[in-house]
Structure 1
Amino acid sequence: MNRAITVLLFALVSLTWGTTWMAMSIASTTIPPMFATGIRFTFAAPFLILTAIWCRTPLLFPIGLRRYQAFVALFYFAIPFSLIIFGEQYVNSGLAALIFSAMPAMVLLFSVFMLNEQLRTGKIAGLLLSMTALAAILVLELDWSQSNRVAGIGALLCAALLHAYVYTRSKKRCQSVPVLTFSALPSAGAGVLLLGIGWIFEHPAVEYFSLMSLASTAYLGLVAGVFGILNYFALQQRTTAFRASLVFVVFPVIAIWVEDICTGKSLSGLSYVFLAQLIVGILLVVVPAKRASVFWITRKSKSATAIEEREKA
């Protein structure tokens, strides 16, 4: 029963993260990026705050980390998600998800410099495989003659870099902070900030907001912002960090399938080959170092045993 619940949570998180990319693409058709992101977080924040209160989870970071809570609101919620929805104006949702799936590789690089983590051979191979595969897919699938393609890719990469940096820094500074504490007030602050900035600088024409864009924004707030966070929190409690991180392998594939179903845009056969390479690369990046060491030690032990048996024979 416990295993079935874990599998269900994994599937729900993968589906949630995989479908949000198309929702962000639809939201940006009539709502400016910052204002849409502000609506998303303003809608999600009350549910997260009430859930935290109901679970008796503190809303504030521990004393000494209160300024960092504001940092999280700005550099984990406000800026990255605005960059993502901006980038999706020039890159389709499936490719945007693929670009963001490089985040574990970025986390690994930041961990090397910020947490003194050792960069083992398997992880170097994973970095090379995932990055070259992603580059190949983008070269094959994007029409580079169109304007602002580079701006869209740059925005998505910056969003992934910011998420990776804050995630790595948070592992170092506030590893004990609950997920609800990490998300509730920062998302509220990000929402209010983005609504204000968006209203002043983007001049949203509210009368032209389509029902599809508003529904997509509500979906992002309630399903991705609340349901997704709570499910991932529950998944992390039930399984290892490695198994939970496998969501990064699954959600880009779902995003590509959703893109194909909704718009008819599918990857070429060669791009699917590179997609398989990308998945292998991400797996090598997220697999725990100890697990890899045990694997190689086991192989070495088996080889040594085989040699000894041959020598005895």
Structure 2
Amino acid sequence: MRRITISLLFILVCLTWGTTWLAMKIAVETIPPLFATGMRFMAASPLLIIMAWVTRVPLLFSRGQRLFQCAVTVFYFAIPFSLMIYGEQTVSSGLALVIFANMPVAVLIASLLLLKEKTCRLQILGLVLAIASLTVVLLSEAKETNRCHWQDALTLLAPLIMHAIMYTLCKQRGSRVAMLTFNAPPCAAAGLALIVGGWFLEHPRWQDFSSKSIKATLYLGVVAGVFGILCYFALQKKGSAFQASTVFLLFPVIALLLENALYGYTLSPVSRLMLLPLSAGILLTLLYRNAMPRLNAGDRHVTL
């Protein structure tokens, strides 16, 4: 029964995360990026706050950690997710997820630099292999299509790096923060800030919003956000760290298949060939079991 539960959770997380980037692309078809991200967070935060209230989970970090909670709001939610949705306007959702599949690699690098964590030769090999493969993918996509330029790739690499640093700082501080505490208040604060910022900077017009974009935004907030958080948290709790982390290898495949089916877009032949060494590199870095914070760190990178 436990294996069935873990398998079901694994499939649900892969499906949820695999559809997130496609939903982001649909959302920004008629809704400005900042405003869409704010709507996304505002849809998720009430449910997260209600769940925290029902389960009697505190909304604030412990004393001495509340400045860090503000940093989580800005550097985990507001800025990274805004950059992600901006990147979705020019980069395919499949390529975006290939980039974000390197989260374990980014966390390993941050842990080595910030925490001086010990590693082994195999993990270093995986690190080099993953970075080299991703570089070839980006170069190939820039050469083969007009949909990927270095500035666009950097727009997606920046939030990847921010999330990796925030994960590592959580571990460095050694603070045991409940998943709902980590997500609910920062999500609400970031959502409000982005709604206000988007209103003044982007001048959204409600009448221009299509029902498809509104539904995609609600999907991002409620399904990919709240439901995704709960499923991944449960997967971390019931399965191993390795099982939870291997999600990063599979959800890009789902995104690539969906984008090919709906839009007829796929990666270049060279990029598809490089997915194998890229996956091998990520797997080797996952041998570093302590790289990804477990359970209490509020683990959620590319999915609210």
Q: Structure 1 residues 236 and 215, CA, compared in 2 at 3 Å: closer, same or farther? A: same
- For 1:242-269, what per-residue CA distance to the aligned partner results, in whole angstroms no more than 9, with x for missing partners? 2211111111111111111111112344
Once the two structures are overlaid, the 10-residue window that deviates more, 32-41 or 148-157, is 148-157
Greater helix content: 1
Gaps in structure 1 of 5+ consecutive residues: 291-313
| C-alpha contact (below 8 Å) 2:107/2:165 kept by paired residues | yes
Q: Structure 1 residues 236 and 289, CA, compared in 2 at 3 Å: closer, same or farther? A: closer
**Structure 2 partner of 1:239:** 239
**Structure 2 partner of 1:226:** 226
- For 1:22-59, what per-residue CA distance to the aligned partner results, in whole angstroms no more than 9, with x for missing partners? 00111111111111100000000000111111222111
Q: Aligned with 1:142: secondary structure?
A: helix
**Structure 1 partner of 2:200:** 200
Q: Aligned with 1:234: secondary structure?
A: helix
| Letter of the 1:33 counterpart | P
> What TM-score does the superposition give when structure 1 sets the normalisation length?
0.88
| C-alpha contact (below 8 Å) 2:95/2:267 kept by paired residues | no
Question: Which structure would you say has the larger Rg?
Answer: 1
Once the two structures are overlaid, the 10-residue window that deviates more, 161-170 or 120-129, is 120-129
**Structure 1 partner of 2:286:** 286
Gaps in structure 2 of 5+ consecutive residues: 291-304
**Structure 1 partner of 2:216:** 216
| C-alpha contact (below 8 Å) 1:89/1:152 kept by paired residues | no
> What TM-score does the superposition give when structure 2 sets the normalisation length?
0.91
| Letter of the 1:58 counterpart | P
**In structure 2, C-alpha distance between the alignment counterparts of 1:200 and 1:149, rounded to whole Å:** 29
**Structure 2 partner of 1:98:** 98
Q: CA deviation at 1:174?
A: 4.6
Q: CA deviation at 1:271?
A: 2.5
Q: CA deviation at 1:160?
A: 0.3
**Structure 1 partner of 2:42:** 42
- For 1:3-33, what per-residue CA distance to the aligned partner results, in whole angstroms no more than 9, with x for missing partners? 1101111111111111101001111111111
**Structure 1 partner of 2:296:** none
Q: Structure 1 residues 102 and 217, CA, compared in 2 at 3 Å: closer, same or farther? A: same
| Letter of the 1:165 counterpart | I
| Letter of the 2:121 counterpart | T
**In structure 1, C-alpha distance between the alignment counterparts of 2:49 and 2:174, rounded to whole Å:** 19
**In structure 2, C-alpha distance between the alignment counterparts of 1:284 and 1:145, rounded to whole Å:** 30
**In structure 2, C-alpha distance between the alignment counterparts of 1:280 and 1:20, rounded to whole Å:** 24
**Structure 1 partner of 2:185:** 185
**In structure 2, C-alpha distance between the alignment counterparts of 1:201 and 1:77, rounded to whole Å:** 19
| Letter of the 2:282 counterpart | I
**In structure 1, C-alpha distance between the alignment counterparts of 2:113 and 2:131, rounded to whole Å:** 19
Q: Aligned with 1:287: secondary structure?
A: coil
Once the two structures are overlaid, the 10-residue window that deviates more, 51-60 or 146-155, is 146-155
**In structure 2, C-alpha distance between the alignment counterparts of 1:289 and 1:41, rounded to whole Å:** 31
Q: Percent identity?
A: 49
**In structure 2, C-alpha distance between the alignment counterparts of 1:147 and 1:5, rounded to whole Å:** 39
**Structure 1 partner of 2:150:** 150
Q: CA RMSD in A?
A: 1.7
